[in-house]
Each structure stands twice: as structure tokens, then as C-alpha cells.
Structure 1
Amino acid sequence: MTTPEMPTRTFVARAPVDVLALVPVVLGFEPEDCVVMLTFGSEHQFQARLDLPPPGATDAEVAAISRLLVEPAVHHRVSRVLLVLYSHDAHAARRSARSLVDAFGAAGIEVLETIRADGSRHWPAIGPGTGTPYDVSAHPLRAQAVLDGRVTHRSRDELAASLDPDPGRRAEVARVLARTPALGADEVSALLADCLATGREPGPVELAGLLQALVDPRVRDVAWLSMTRADAVLHVDLWSQVVRRTPDERLPGAAAVLGFAAWLSGSGALAWCAVDRCLAVDPDHVLGGYVAQLLERAVPPGAWAPAGRPA
């Protein structure tokens, strides 16, 4: 489940096309074959994305998707939701939409609207209709996103590929990794502070020492527990480059820290991409598992307080 928090800028959606322009900006990529939930009326508004059930899914599989969205909405005391189903299959989307509406209704949560979209036309997700053409490429929300520096990838796969290794720069780190001692906690703190303040990346030896340090959970905590929502985006930029330069044997720690930074910045999809890379190498990684739980439970970044204490 992708669970970024709703953007702090206020947007007024007067028509389905406004919603369809907003969703990719919030997700960070153009959605396909999925359902997106926008929430309203809770202390921390958030949105969630799940893949739609595969063709031929059983009633139980369809109902399971509904439960996965209803549970965090109930937990966070959401009063209203808006659902967007991205699908070329009208029958399958209608089936999922009906299940979702029934499940939210049973939980006492109002469904404001259900929209089906396929990238070029949108329809009411439940009911007949020929659809309405739409094009959000020049929508003011998309233009504002560009001005705000928000990148919208063409797909989730493209977003995941943004973390692919940089072979040459990773090799530079690999050459010095074995002979480089781990940095201490104070050294990690100083290095990160300098990189964030200046915008520079660690050199190969500095990065090797940082990666060695992340093996120790006590030192790793220095890297992520000091983050705030105000500087989370800067951490995402820094740790994205770190992940691309990290040899596989030291990838879990760096990817887990990136996952937390991405979640804290509201980039839930990127957080999942980072967590996937972490757990692919070390399925039992503690921080990676913790970030996965934050995402699975749709915990909004606004609920976070420094030092890991709930807000």
C-alpha cells in the first residue's frame, strides 16, 4: 500500500479532472490498474493506493482489497473518502467499486464519489456512461507541481528505476569498502549535517565509512531519528544518491534509511521502492520492517515526532 500524506498546499477540486490531475502528483507517478483513496475529515489526511484484483479474482480477493483500505480509514477516524479506480476493464472496476462502497458504508464512512479512469477518459465507476475525455498534462495543478519541484514519473516502474545502481560510482565505493572503518555516531551526525547544509554528496571513503556504520543499529539510529518533516526532502535527495552508490552487501541499511525519509516526506511510493530493495537483501532488517509497517498501516507522516515518539 502506498500511503503518502496529502500535500500541505490547499487545492480545490471542482470536477473529476481536478482529482485526476492531483492524484499522480501526490503519488509521484502515473497510476495504472489500481485504486486510490483520498481521505477527508481526519486529523491527518492521507491517501492510499493498492493494486486492483487480477482478472478473474474471487469475491474474497475483491473484498480483501476493500478491507485493506477501510481498516486504516477507520483507524484514523476518516469520515469521507473519494475513490479513483484506474482501469481499462469497466466490469472489473465496477465490481471493485461496489465492494468498496459497501465496505465503507458498513464502516460508517461516506464515499463522496467513485471515478474510473483509463488515462484518456473518465466515468462514474458504478453505473453506465460513455465517458468523458480528459487531459491533465496542462492542468494548473500539474504546472504548480513542477514549480514546487515535484517530479511525476510515468509509472511506478520508472519511479523504482530512479534507485537503480550507478555502476561506476558504486564501484568506487566497493573498492575502498573493505578497508574503511565504520564512522562513529558523532562522525555520522557531522557528515550528514554537512552534506545536508552544503548539498554535496559524501566522497567514496566517507560513504564507505557511513555504510559500515549503518550496520550498527545504534549508529544507524543517528541517521534517521534526527530527521524532521522540515528536512525530510533533503534527506530523500541525499539518501537516494547513497542507495545508488551502495554495494549490495551494505544496501539494506542505506535503503531502510531512505525508506524512512521518503515516508516522512510524504513520498509513500518511493518509500516502498526503498523498502523493497532493503528487504530483498535482508528480509529481517529491523528498520526496513518498521518502515514497511508504517506504510502498511497508512500511518500519516504528520503523526511522527522526533526521537520516534508518537505525535
Structure 2
Amino acid sequence: MKISVSSHDELLAAVPHMFGFTPHESLVLYPFAPGLPRVRVDLPTSQTARDGVWESLEVPFGRHARPGAVVAIICLTTDRSHAERASEDLRSRLESIDVTTPLRLWADDTQWCDLDTHESGQRTQAARTRIDAQMVAAGQALPIASRSAMAASLVGDRDPIERLMPAARTASAASNPPAEHAWTMERLHRFHADGFTLNDLDAARMLLAVSSVPVRDDVWENISQRTAQTHVALWTNLTRRAPDDVRAAPATLLSFASWIGGDGAKAWCALDQVPNAQEYPMARLMSAALTAGVNPSEWEAQTARLHDINELARDLARTLQAPQGPLHRPAPEM
């Protein structure tokens, strides 16, 4: 996502578009050139918390930092003193890996201040309107109110499909795996073409089908930067509607599609929908990739060399150490 800004005010107005929601009490890293990830973390308010932020950022920034790397540190908080301490602490740590930070910016809902030059100003609706218009013209949806609102958008009415699952399982058992596989891929391609929401019967059948790893892997292989938008729409809807026992696959496919499409925050929110009790290797792989700050372009580049989804997954896993124990969401959102 490219955003053109010409002032501090416009830079602040662009931040919600980077993550799909409006951050509050947050620290944001905004790179001035391609390569480094855009990151949001909860604003650290103690030295222990600042140490924890660096622990979560050192690997992804060390992975991508190149000579001359430059980022802005933006603190969005009502407490300017916390912004001063957190941004100065992070600046010194970034400099240790040759990332320079020429801008430390503090803002609350109404005003902003450059913490180095002490230049300050008001946050204006005019700047928000200009950036919103730029993003709408580029085909981007407007951001929602908060990360919690984004997470809530993935939880819907799951009872209708829950009631259909016994009959859907019986129908699936009476069919055969190749037939269900073929139906799933045909239904997926039809959704790419028309974008119509699946009715409850088709949704139940699709959720059962992708709970089979070979079927899920063929769907996974269909996700690319070209198809990410329609996959996000499909798997967002099915994650909202899926009962616990069939939600791991759609939620993880949504996480992958969001990541490939450049929406790291939604990728994390989707992983939060994988039921905690489930051990799901694809979700662990996504968690590891997001934690390490892997750029989606790395996956896209590998698809030109490796054409089998399992080879691609193994290749990515070799470069990462997947988290052990229950799935969890670490601090950074990229």
C-alpha cells in the first residue's frame, strides 16, 4: 500500500490506513523506504515493557534492515511523557542495528508535536479527508474504529451452521473425497467470479471440506496477491459463521490471505479465532511468519521456484522457529 503524505498531520491521518483500524495508546514504526515492515505495538509504559517491545522487534527488523534504513517513530497517546521515554529508548536500540530515526512524533486525538524539533500543530479533519480520499481512490476500505472492533468483526452468528453440521457430516460421509475436493474448488472459483455469500448449506459443506488437509492445501495454493482480496472476503465470512470444531482452517486461511494482501493486523486477528485447544500446524506457521516479520513478497518469490504448497510451507518453516505451546499473539502487528 502506497500512501503519499506532505505533512505531519497527513502522516498521522495515514496511520489508521496502514493497519485497517485506528490505533490508540500505541507506538508505530513507519519506514520511509521499502524493505522494513510497518509495525504497531501497545505503547510501553515501563522499562520492562520497553525491553519486551525490543525483544519482539529485534528479529524482524534485524532480518530486513539494510544500510541507510530510516523509520519514523510515532507515539499515539494522551501521555506525552510515556511517548518521550518509549521513543528515545527505541531510537537507541534501532541505531544499534543501523536503522536511523529522524522523526519522533507524538500525538493525541487533537494535537501533535515533533519530539526532536518541538514543532507542533493541530490534527485536522482536512488532512483526514485528503488521506481518506486518496485511499478510497486506490480501492482501499476505510479503517474501522479500533483493533477490538476488527477482532469483533470476525465473530458472527454461528448457530445456523452449527445446527446443519450433523446433516452435513452425513452427506459428506455418503459422498467421496475426490467429489468433495472437486466441489470445493469449483465453488471457490465461482466465488472468485461472483462474490456472492455462501448459503448455510454450502458454507457447512465448504467448512467440512477444508477441514481435510489436502483440500485445504489446494485452497491455500490458490491464494496469491492477485486473489487475496476475494479470499479475505470468503474466509472472513466463513470464520464469522464457523462453529469451533471447523473454524481452524477458515481462520488460518483468512490469516494467510490477509498477510499476502498486506494486512498484518487482520492476519493476527484471524489467528485469534483458531480455537485455543487446537494444535494446528498451519496456524503455527503463520504465527511464526508474522512474529519474524517475513515479508509476503518472500513467499510470492518462492512460488516462482516451488510450485507445491507443501514444499513452500516446508521452505518457509526451515527459516523460522514455530512457536511451541498454545497459540498466542505476540506484541507487534505488521
TM-score by length of 2: 0.81
Q: Distance in 1 between matches of 2:12 and 2:161?
A: 38
Q: Show the counterpart of 1:161.
A: 152
Cα separation, 2, equivalents of 1:195 and 1:230 = 14
Match for 1:280 among 273, 276, 283?
276
- 1:48 and 2:39 correspond: yes
Aligned-residue offset at 1:280: 2.7
Partner of 2:124: 135
Matches within 5 A, 1:24-35: 24-35=16-27
Corresponding position: 1:122 with 2:120: no
Pairwise mapping of residues 91-240 of structure 1 onto structure 2 (< 5 A)? 91-125=81-115, 131-136=120-125, 138-147=128-137, 148-167=139-158, 169-171=160-162, 173-174=164-165, 176-181=167-172, 184-240=180-236
Q: Distance in 1 between matches of 2:254 and 2:244?
A: 15
Q: Is the 8 A contact 1:173 1:245 kept in 2?
A: no
Contact 1:248/1:281 (<8 A) preserved: no
Instruction: Please state how far the C-alpha of 1:295 moved relative to its aligned partner.
Output: 1.3
Alpha-carbon shift at residue 175 of structure 1 (Å): 6.0
Report the Cα distance in structure 2 between the residues aligned to 1:185 and 1:167, rounded to whole angstroms: 24
Q: Counterparts of 2:157 and 2:134 in 1: how far apart (Å)?
A: 31
Which moves more between the two structures, 33-42 or 100-109?
33-42
Q: Is the 8 A contact 1:263 1:301 kept in 2?
A: yes
Secondary structure of the residue aligned to 2:73 is strand
What residue number does 2:246 align with? 250
Against the structure 1 CA distance between its residues 19 and 279, is the aligned structure 2 distance closer, same or farther, given a 3 Å change threshold?
farther
After superposition, the Cα gap between the structure-2 partners of 1:297 and 1:279, relative to the gap in structure 1 and judged at 3 Å, is farther
Aligned residue number for residue 298 of structure 1:
293
Q: The residue matched to 1:299 in structure 2 has which SS?
A: coil
Q: Hey, what's the Cα distance between the residues in 2 that align with 1:195 and 1:75?
A: 37
3-state SS of the aligned residue for 2:170?
coil
5+ residue gaps, structure 2, are 317-334
* Worse-superposed segment, 202-211 or 156-165: 202-211
Match of 1:61 in 2: 49
Distance 1:279 1:264 in 2: 22
How many residues align structurally?
297
- C-alpha distance in structure 1 between counterparts of 2:240 and 2:81, whole Å: 41
Which piece of structure 1 moves more, 241-250 or 227-236? 241-250
Query: Does residue 80 of structure 2 align to residue 90 of structure 1?
Result: yes
Does the residue aligned with 1:278 lie in a helix, a strand or coil? Answer: coil
Determine the structure 1 residue equivalent to 2:327: none
Answer whether contact 2:36 2:61 (CA < 8 A) is retained: no
Compared with structure 1, are the counterparts of its residues 206 and 167 closer, same or farther at alpha carbon in structure 2 (3 Å cutoff)?
A: closer
SS in 2 for 1:280: coil
Q: What is residue 324 of structure 2 aligned with on the other side?
A: none
Does structure 2 conserve the Cα–Cα contact (< 8 Å) formed by 1:173 and 1:246? Answer: no
Quote the offset at 1:51 in angstroms: 1.1
Shift in Å, 1:123: 1.4
Quick check: 1:170–1:244 contact (8 Å CA) kept in 2? no
Distance (whole Å) between structure 2 residues aligned to residue 169 and residue 125 of structure 1: 53
How far apart are the structure 1 equivalents of 2:264 and 2:160? 27
Relative distance call for 1:91 and 1:172 in structure 2 (3 A) is: same
Give the alignment partner of residue 9 of structure 2, picking from 17, 20, 29. Answer: 17
Paired AA for residue 46 in structure 1: P
- Amino acid paired to 1:162: S
Check whether the contact 1:170–1:245 (CA below 8 A) recurs between aligned residues: yes
- The 1:203–1:176 alpha-carbon spacing in structure 2 relative to 1, beyond 3 Å, is farther
**SS in structure 1 at match of 2:75:** strand
Q: Offset of 1:266 from its aligned partner?
A: 0.9
Match of 1:3 in 2: none
Q: Distance in 1 between matches of 2:54 and 2:114?
A: 18
Looking at structure 2, the residues matched to 281 and 251 of structure 1 have their Cα atoms a distance apart, in angstroms, of 12
Preserved CA contact (<8 Å) 2:26 2:42:
yes
Report the Cα distance in structure 1 between the residues aligned to 2:190 and 2:147, rounded to whole angstroms.
32
Return 5+ residue gaps in structure 1 as ranges: 1-6
- Percent identity reads 24
